Structure 1
Amino acid sequence: MTSLILPTSDGGTREYRLRSATTWAKPTAPLTSRRAYAAAHVIPEVTADNTPGAPARLDWEATLAYRHELWSYGLGVADAMDTAQRGMGLDWPATQQLIKRTGAEAASVVSAGGTATAGMTVRDLVSCGAGTDQLDLATLPSGEAGLQAVLAAYREQAAVVSEAGPKVILMASRALARVASGPEDYVKVYSTLLQEADQPVILHWLGTMFDPALAGYWGSDDVSVATETFLSLIRENADKVDGVKVSLLDASHEVALRAALPEGVRLYTGDDFNYPELIDGDGTLHSDALLGIFAAIYQAASAALQSYDAGEAAKARAILDSTRELGKHIFSAPTFYYKTGIAFLSWLNGKQPGFQMVGGLHSGRSVVHLAKTFELADEAGLLKDPALAAFRMSDFLRINGVGV
């Protein structure tokens, strides 16, 4: 049994013994009981600048291979989202390439017709974020001119996504949060975009724990008031809304919102703390998933969804519950650094050559935090090759001065 010395939060160390590898079966047919997108991260070139403000240079082979890995487990991919460091290092030129390349890769999967994705479309396999991050907030005009600039930016990005083939996700916009004077401005912008959409889109509501610049989204800091604006928009445009992706980390709010949605509009949970019970449902309704944590636990997530498909709900819930502590840890405050944990597990599992992130975000978590990530991933059976993971973890600890 492999063991290594891990640091503890009190400044000490302790021996940790790894478990044997868990074998996770890939699906032999498309997953049907829940619709699920894993919000994938991006992998930079290890020799790129990778410092704050530097242009993003991606390792395309590794980045796209990660998406193929997710598809092989029957999961869709949510791309060009906050998990991919939108607004946190991934610039719009690199994002355009990501959308186009992922769309082309998804089309190749559709053409191949694999067992896990048979009969699925590109839109089933990948959804991509359309936002406004090409705008310079420092020079953004106020008032109606600002709203028109936001609308034009959304249109530009939505067109890139549509032309590439994926489903459009209308992301929450820092620019709109900056220029909107009230709920009517949000409704005006989103209603226009929805009516112009040629196919139903996903609406994205991201809480301030993920991005503080989104305070007061939908025109109010009061979540209940904001929710009424959000719901009125959806009800007026239900035929143009595939679903809503809500990341407020508030399970009771999500349950109430889910029940209030028009028939046919999905709720894709973005709650990386409470996803087991939300996906499991209340016996009448359940949430689908568009989750950052699914990019880290995709093998277990797939196994759970396979169990739901087989009518084994208790088994499915138990699998999801077994990953909960890892999810809570990776998404612990400051929550917007959760991407660091996802990239770290990707590196430990051999999916990328180095523990690097665009914009220097690999420095976003402490050594002790990442050691705990390693431990919880092992306990959940999510270290594909425990010996490789232990080797890389040992190297990481050594170069960071642990045990030296």
Structure 2
Amino acid sequence: MALSLTLPTAAGGLAAYTLRGSAPVRPPGGVQFNRIAYSAAHVVADPLAAIDPWLQCAVDWDATIAYRRHLWSLGLGVAEAMDTAQRGMGLDWPTSLELIRRSLDAAKDVPGAFVASGCGTDHLSLIDVKDVDHVIQAYEAQMAAIEALGGKLIVMASRALAHVAKGPADYERVYDRILRQARQPVILHWLGDMFDPALAGYWGTKDIDAAMDTALGIIAAHPHRVDGIKISLLDKDKEIAMRRRLPPGVRMYTGDDFNYAELIAGDGAGTEPTHAKSDALLGIFDAIAPAASAALGALAQGDTAGFHAILGPTVPLSRHIFAAPTRFYKTGVVFMAWLNGHQQHFTMVGGQQSTRSLQHLAELFRLADHANLLAQPDQAVRRMKTLLALHGVGN
């Protein structure tokens, strides 16, 4: 029997919606990739903790680590303690470090599991940041803590650096210092201001091409200390242009949650293999993990059409989840985890489940169904009806 429910519409009314009844996406066992693929993973809040949610952070560690095991089982790596985990937006540095420790420990028990962890300056208060030296010391403190656990670094974009830097030279000084000390090649991180307004003008200018020149210059000065760079500008042409200019062996990790399918598939251009395609470090892979795994498996088998057939329907869902204000995308990611049974509640660190409207979540439900991403449709419908009832919508 077809599953149906009443959902809010864009026009502000209500309308019946019947699920398509398509089989959920499930990758084959033992799937292999020819791309490196990290999912920036979310954290599961503890709704029973006696805290003030807007001021304090409580994590359900068991559910959070279980979700990472789910990602590893699909062949995906975990980009830990990133913005998808609400880093700097509800998740503080002490809790982030505990998350990194637990994730690295769990990965030891999973053959082939890989983790890279966010290293930033978010323990600094912007009011107290005086100069670039202060930023360097903050990076070094987090770097030492993560490397002491054996972690690989993702050098996150720094609000503090954007706050005090006077131009590109300050960025060059900071990154030169950090890269010279890194124990193993790092992933750099360029997050556009649509994801975090405090990062406007990163690399010392609001001119994207000039900013790219600065970032590429830093990488060129330390090519053997940089595994790759993740950029999240939501501009595929800028990503491709930068990808083609990277030193040999330095990877482009797409963070483009609008155009990831074509960027990962690649264009075959350039003499260097890493210039022809993007690897992945994506928040959307948390929400679409089974489809991402199945699609990447098809691509590795040379089935480009199959890759696009699986991943293509997820793109409208991703563009909806990451719609402006883009920084609220985490709500959609956690909502998907709740619908699919990876957590027992729709509660977020910092109370951020309130950042998207019921209409937004209803459209997300429709798009998830169209992308064949509702793993247990009966359960998803029950949970959606519960949320609707809390908002006064009967079914």
Q: TM-score, normalised by structure 1?
A: 0.93
Aligned runs of 1:318-333 on 2, under 5 Å?
318-333=309-324
> What letter matches 2:118 in structure 1?
G
Equivalent position of 2:235 in the other structure: 250
Describe the superposition over 1:40-90 as per-residue Cα deviations: whole angstroms up to 9, x where unpaired.
000110123675642211000100000000000000011100000011100
> What letter matches 2:207 in structure 1?
D
2 CA distance for matches of 1:336 and 1:256? 25
Determine whether 1:261 maps to 2:261: no
Equivalent position of 1:211 in the other structure: 196
2 CA distance for matches of 1:11 and 1:23? 29
> What letter matches 2:153 in structure 1?
V
Aligned runs of 1:256-295 on 2, under 5 Å?
256-284=241-269, 285-295=276-286
> What letter matches 2:101 in structure 1?
K
Describe the superposition over 1:201-249 as per-residue Cα deviations: whole angstroms up to 9, x where unpaired.
0000000000000011000000011010000000010000000000000
C-alpha RMSD of matched pairs (Å):
1.4
Determine whether 1:192 maps to 2:177: yes
Tell me, yes or no, if the aligned pair for 2:27 and 2:291 is still in contact at 8 Å.
no
**Deviation at 1:147?**
1.3
Tell me, yes or no, if the aligned pair for 1:171 and 1:203 is still in contact at 8 Å.
yes
2 CA distance for matches of 1:29 and 1:299? 13
Equivalent position of 1:313 in the other structure: 304
> What letter matches 1:82 in structure 2?
D
Describe the superposition over 1:183-207 as per-residue Cα deviations: whole angstroms up to 9, x where unpaired.
0000000011001111000000000
**Deviation at 1:26?**
3.9
Describe the superposition over 1:87-123 as per-residue Cα deviations: whole angstroms up to 9, x where unpaired.
11001111110010001011111xxx3xxx3xxxx6x
2 CA distance for matches of 1:16 and 1:276? 28
Tell me, yes or no, if the aligned pair for 2:31 and 2:294 is still in contact at 8 Å.
no
Identity %: 53
Aligned runs of 1:58-73 on 2, under 5 Å?
58-73=59-74
Tell me, yes or no, if the aligned pair for 2:54 and 2:351 is still in contact at 8 Å.
no
2 CA distance for matches of 1:327 and 1:53? 27
Q: Between Structure 1 and Structure 2, how many residues are aligned? A: 388
**SS of equivalent to 2:17:** strand
> What letter matches 1:246 in structure 2?
I
1 CA distance for matches of 2:24 and 2:382? 20
Equivalent position of 2:86 in the other structure: 85
> What letter matches 1:137 in structure 2?
L
1 CA distance for matches of 2:250 and 2:281? 14
Tell me, yes or no, if the aligned pair for 1:99 and 1:160 is still in contact at 8 Å.
no
Tell me, yes or no, if the aligned pair for 1:50 and 1:357 is still in contact at 8 Å.
no
Aligned runs of 1:168-247 on 2, under 5 Å?
168-247=153-232
1 CA distance for matches of 2:392 and 2:197? 33
Q: 1:175 to 1:49 in 2, by over 3 A?
A: farther
Question: 4+ residue stretches of structure 1 with deviation over 6 A?
Answer: none
Tell me, yes or no, if the aligned pair for 1:348 and 1:388 is still in contact at 8 Å.
yes
**SS of equivalent to 2:231:** strand
1 CA distance for matches of 2:353 and 2:50? 13
2 CA distance for matches of 1:14 and 1:378? 16
> What letter matches 1:91 in structure 2?
D
Unaligned runs of 5+ in 2: 270-275
> What letter matches 1:290 in structure 2?
L
Unaligned runs of 5+ in 1: none
Equivalent position of 1:386 in the other structure: 377
Q: 1:50 to 1:205 in 2, by over 3 A?
A: farther
**Deviation at 1:30?**
5.8
Q: 1:282 to 1:324 in 2, by over 3 A?
A: same
Which is worse superposed, 6-15 or 364-373? Answer: 6-15
Determine whether 1:161 maps to 2:143: no
> What letter matches 2:70 in structure 1?
E
**SS of equivalent to 1:108:** coil
**Deviation at 1:28?**
3.9
Q: TM-score, normalised by structure 2?
A: 0.96
**SS of equivalent to 2:38:** strand
Equivalent position of 1:395 in the other structure: 386
